[in-house]
Copies of this chain bind each other. A is one copy, B any other.
Amino acid sequence: MKSTRNTTAKSAIQLLLQQSSVALSHKDIQNEVGKLCNRVTIYRILDRLVEEGEIHKIINTDGVIKYAPCNQCESHPNHNHDHVHFSCVKCDTVTCLDNVQPSYNLPPDYKVQEVNFTLSGICPNCIK
């Protein structure tokens, strides 16, 4: 089997994501890590972290991909990130609402594998 290694860049990016209260895009991360590693490496590290189940992708309403840690993955190994994301149009942040799960009634014969649920609007910080 092929193994995965712990490199300084990977650890730094993982820590960055874990300590962030909002989801981060590739560009956010690049700005943050500076010259620690090449931008291509950031893409590859993000892919690896997704692969390993450490983080998950969020496709924002403007098409930009953001990343956030998987908080429930340890407790629910085979879950499908079926929580709500909120994208604020004012401060341009994306937040995982880990314990907001939508309910819906699908017609029969649809087999759901993944859920991507993003609401956009004004977040509590920007509402006042």
A residues apposed to B, CB below 8 Å = 59-61, 63, 65, 84, 86, 89, 97, 100-124, 127
- Given the known inter-chain contacts A61-B116, A110-B123, A119-B116, please indicate yes or no for A103 contacting B104, CB distance below 8 A: yes
What is the count of identical protomers in the complex?
2
B110 touches A119 (CB 8 A): yes
B112 touches A121 (CB 8 A): yes
CB distance from A35 to the nearest CB of B (A): 27
- For A117, the closest partner residue in chain B by CB is B117
A12 to B103, CA, bound (A): 38
B119 touches A112 (CB 8 A): yes
CB distance from A3 to the nearest CB of B (A): 28
- For A128, the closest partner residue in chain B by CB is B109
B residues in contact with A120, CB < 8 Å: 112-114, 116
A119 to B80, CA, bound (A): 10
